[in-house]
Structures are given as C-alpha cells and as structure tokens.
Structure 1
Amino acid sequence: MATNVTKEAAAGRSPEPVVRLNGVGKLYGNVRALRGIDLAVRPGQVTCVLGDNGAGKSTLIKIVSGLHQHDEGEFLVDGNPVRLSNPRDALNLGIATVYQDLATVPLMPVWRNFFLGSELTRGRWPVRRLDIERMKRITDEELSAMGIHLDDLDQPIGTLSGGQRQSVAIARAVYFGARVLILDEPTAALGVKQSGVVLKYIAAARERGLGVIFITHNPHHAYMVGDHFSVLRLGALELNAARADVTLEELTNHMAGGAELAALKHELAQVRGVDVEELPETVQTPSA
C-alpha cells in the first residue's frame, strides 16, 4: 500500500480516498447532530478533525467506526456505498478505532494486550495452548517496525506512559490490518513530551501508508502532523481545507470561533482595567 501511495505522489496525483463522506447527516430524534459533512480519508495522509465539546466529533467517529448509521448523505469505502451495522463491519473493511481508554488490561503484559481477544494458539484440542513465544516475537517485530522499542514485553502495560500505551495501540491496529486508523483525542490527557511521542507514531502510521483520522481539540497538535483539516462547529463544517491552504493562525481562529472571539473582545473593551489592545487579533477567513 505504501508503495502505491508513493507512486501516485510521484506522479503528482492524490491517492483515491479509502473512506469518503458526502453530505453526511445524523439525527437523534429531533436533534440534528451532524449535517452536510464532507470528508475524504486518503492512504498515506492524516486528516485532522477538530472541534470543541459538542461540535459533533464523537458522532462522526461513531458513524465511521460502525457504532451508528448515518441518516443523510453517502458513506463510501473504496468508492462503494456502505451502511455499517457494527464495529466488526468496519474492521472487516480495514477501519480501526483507537479510543482514549485504549481497551487495555493494565495488569497484563504488553504482548498479551497486543493480542487481546485475538490470541495465537498451537496444538490441538484438548491440549491447545497459547503460543506465547510467537506472540512475543510478533509484538516485538511490529513495535520495532513502528519505531517503538521496549526493554521488557512482559511488563504490565499499565506501567507504560500514556504516550507509549497509545503507540502500542496504534501498532496493534496496523498489525491487524487497519487501512484507516481513527484516533480519538489521543493526546487529550497527555503532557507535552508524551503528546510528542504519540504525534511521532501518527506520522509513522502515515509513512506506512495508512489513512489516519486524528480527532483533536488542539490545533497545534493537528498542524504538526496534519495533511487536511476539517473543523466542526455545532454539527457542521466550519472549515474544510488542505494544509497548503490554511495557516496555524487561521486554523486556531476557526477552532476557537473567530466571530465569538471578536464579540468577546468588544465586550471586554467595555470593562475597566482590561486592555483589549494587548489581546490577539482574530483572523477573518472564509469557511470552505
């Protein structure tokens, strides 16, 4: 896959999207959670989906990962319309999701968590047993391929840092056949250093040819690794732009809500003791 992506890039063409949403909407009774969402996830690219709490990021994740079905628009995988009934359908199409809680067992070893629910065995019933050596070897090889080097695969995964646990989850998804990797706020609860670790492995997943959907509320993290940016506000697209068409300042402005910030600055100007001239100017850019 990575080779095909490289060939298309060399020819000056963008690879065809693995996942594409056209005008997707979602209703919960009379509440419209999403409307008119367009999204294209291409192999070898990181698509960043940004938005504040309540913007619609979680609903979007649930649709792409198979937890919920869309009510409006088209959901295409490899150019074919799909309606996913559950996360297993998504996995069968190569769409894997890494949630914030990571679904790991803290007291189990790293290698056991890597194969959790998909353990390798050897021998025949009734003497079938876990193939521990093979699972350890594969875990070590896959982590090394992602640039992750752990001294002891037998250590409980709970003893790893948050960034390392996220990285193991990413490597696991890659090994089990992910073509599109959805990362749900992977840096939200991490400090600067550990966030850097996760961003490094997001870039590594891109280099291996995966299409990555990076869900975040941090425009600085998004801009460090993103190739395309989609900003959600109240269930609709506030911005939909390639990296070449948006600056970090513009992205931050859309994320924060430029109009709201301008109104707030005007209100603060009426308060004694607040020097609004020292506040940053908002950037007015058209929504895509």
Structure 2
Amino acid sequence: MAPVLELEGITKRFGAIEAIRGIDFAVEPGEVVGLMGDNGAGKSTLCRIIAGTFAPTTGTLRLNGHEVHFRRPSDAREEGVEMVHQDLALCDNLTAALNVFLGREITFGFGPFRFLDRGKMQARAGELFAELKSETRPGELVKRMSGGQRQAVAIARTRLSEPKVVLLDEPTAAISVRQVAEVLELIRRLRDAGIAVILISHRAPDVFAVCDRVAVLRRGEKVADKPVGATSPEEVTGLITGAIEYA
C-alpha cells in the first residue's frame, strides 16, 4: 500500500538551533504509528510541521504522492491533516456538539442574518460519537465530562473534514486507567476507518497496545522506526535515553 503521508529530509532550524534534522518518515492509510522521544527530542516540532504550524527549513512533504506546502494549519486541514493538541482546545461552557463544530458551525438564514443550526450540529455530532462507539452525549456540557469523553469530543471534531491523517499529542496523559482504555479504543476506530494516525506519547504500554510501528526521535534525529513486534519497551527506553544509539 502506498503511503498517505511521506516526509523526506525534513529539517527545521530556529536561528542557530537545529530542532530536527534530515528526517524521513511515512505512514500508510489505516496505520497507527507511535512517535516517541524525550522532552526536546523534536516530536512536537515534527508534528507541527505536518500539521502546518511550522514550515520546514528543508525537505519535502507529500500527501498521496503529491508534494504539499502548508503555510498555516488551515492549509493542512484542507488537505486532510488534523491534529488534536494535548490541551484539546475545548470550551468548557459549551456542549459537546458545539465544541465539535467550533469554528465550523452550521448556520441558516439570509444574507448577513445567520443563526446557529443547533439541531443539525447536535444530530451530526451524535452520528460521529456513534461511529466512534463513544457514550459521549452531544448535549452535555464539556465541563462535566471525563478525560476520555473530552478526547472523544476532540477526535470527533477531526472527523468533520474526513481526514486522511490525524495526529494525537499525548492523548492518554493525566487520565485514569479506564479512560486510557476508552481513548485507545477511539484510536482503533480511526484506524478501522482507514485513517492514518500518528500517536505522540511517553507511555510505552499505550504505544505497544495500539500501534503498528514505533518511531523514536532523539535530539532531533530519528534513531529507530520499527514494527512494534520487532522491538520492546526496554529497547525503546534505551533508544530514548541514548543507551542504545540506533535500531
């Protein structure tokens, strides 16, 4: 199967600092790839390049074989790349449905007189939660939700644009064991829908539970990219810390 996303020779410099250098990376439709590394390894910078927040200093990005140039996150979204940030960017005082459609609201009316079509948004959000097999209710306020339900809202938001690639930044950080299981199941639902998922995580058990491959960054360089069945949490820890140079 051809990759949906390919990165070739990606480098990013901030002045004299080289945050990432010469990274080649690819992910296929319906594949879940874990991206691991210590703080400052370059994971967030790489993902922000994929998501359109940063432009690479050098290198090439391709989607479905076509070279792309993102100047802003909206460019990436238009091409089918969505990112769920660690803070989720949800509004606690709004319902799940309104959060799903935040910035992409469905409206009705004439000319400058537009009104929110809450019924359509609630119905569509309900369909998205059903597809994800989440018990999240469209009309419930986000401030009353668990960490797992909040992740469901953020992930449902990515489904509005029928994405090709979804990047998840530490989705299982600071939530309970039961909620972690819910989030991992949401990731499997994305995979089963044929969506490529890049999971940024410090949690090796989560990566090994749900990912097909794991890529490790250290000091801005990719030091491993292996099927999870061909490595182990111990080897990954060694790669992250530098006890193992490359694998």
Change over 3 Å in CA distance of 1:161–1:22 after alignment to 2 = same
Query: What residue in structure 2 maps to residue 282 of structure 1?
Result: none
Task: Supply the distance in 1 between the matched residues of 2:165 and 2:46 (Cα, whole angstroms).
Answer: 14
Structure 2 length-normalised TM: 0.94
Q: Write out aligned runs for 1:1-288 (5 A).
A: 15-125=1-111, 128-150=114-136, 152-259=137-244, 287-288=246-247
Structure 1 residue 97: Cα displacement? 0.5
Q: Tell me, in whole angstroms, the C-alpha distance in 1 between the residues paired with 2:204 and 2:242.
A: 12
Query: How many Å apart are 1:66 and its aligned residue?
Result: 0.6
Q: Distance in 2 between matches of 1:242 and 1:87?
A: 29
Percent of aligned positions with the same letter in both sequences? Answer: 38
Alpha-carbon distance between aligned partners in 1 of 2:70 and 2:105, rounded to the nearest angstrom: 26
Change (3 A) 1:119 1:148: same
Q: 2:69, 2:119 → 1: CA distance?
A: 39
Partner of 1:276: none
Q: CA deviation at 1:126?
A: 5.7
Which residue type is aligned with residue 234 of structure 2?
E
Q: Distance in 1 between matches of 2:201 and 2:221?
A: 16
- Give the Å deviation of 1:79: 1.2
Deviation at 1:127, TM superposition (A): 5.1
How far the C-alpha of 1:71 sits from its partner, in A, is 1.4
- State the one-letter code of the partner of 1:221: D
Q: Distance in 1 between matches of 2:238 and 2:175?
A: 23
Question: Structure 1 residues 126 and 60 mapped into 2: Cα distance closer, same or farther (>3 Å)?
Answer: closer
- Give distance in 1, aligned partners of 2:64 and 2:168: 20
- Does structure 2 conserve the Cα–Cα contact (< 8 Å) formed by 1:65 and 1:95? yes
Matched AA of 1:86: R
The 3-state SS of whatever aligns with 2:223 is strand
Question: Is the deviation greater in 239-248 or in 51-60?
Answer: 239-248
CA distance in 1, matches of 2:208, 2:9: 25
> 2 CA distance for matches of 1:127 and 1:25?
47
For residues 233 and 191 of structure 1, the distance between their equivalents in structure 2, rounded to whole angstroms, comes to: 28
Bigger strand share? 2
Query: What residue ranges of structure 1 are gaps of 5+ in the alignment?
Result: 1-14, 260-285
TM-score normalised by length of structure 1: 0.81
How far has the Cα of 1:104 moved from its partner? 1.0
Q: What displacement does 1:222 show?
A: 0.7
CA shift in 2, pair 1:70/1:128, >3 Å:
closer
Gaps of 5+ in 2: none
Which deviates more, 105-114 or 191-200? 191-200
Bigger shift: 71-80 or 134-143? 71-80
Aligned positions, number: 247
> C-alpha root-mean-square deviation of aligned residues, in Å?
1.6
Letter in 2 for 1:246: T
1:263 corresponds to which residue? none
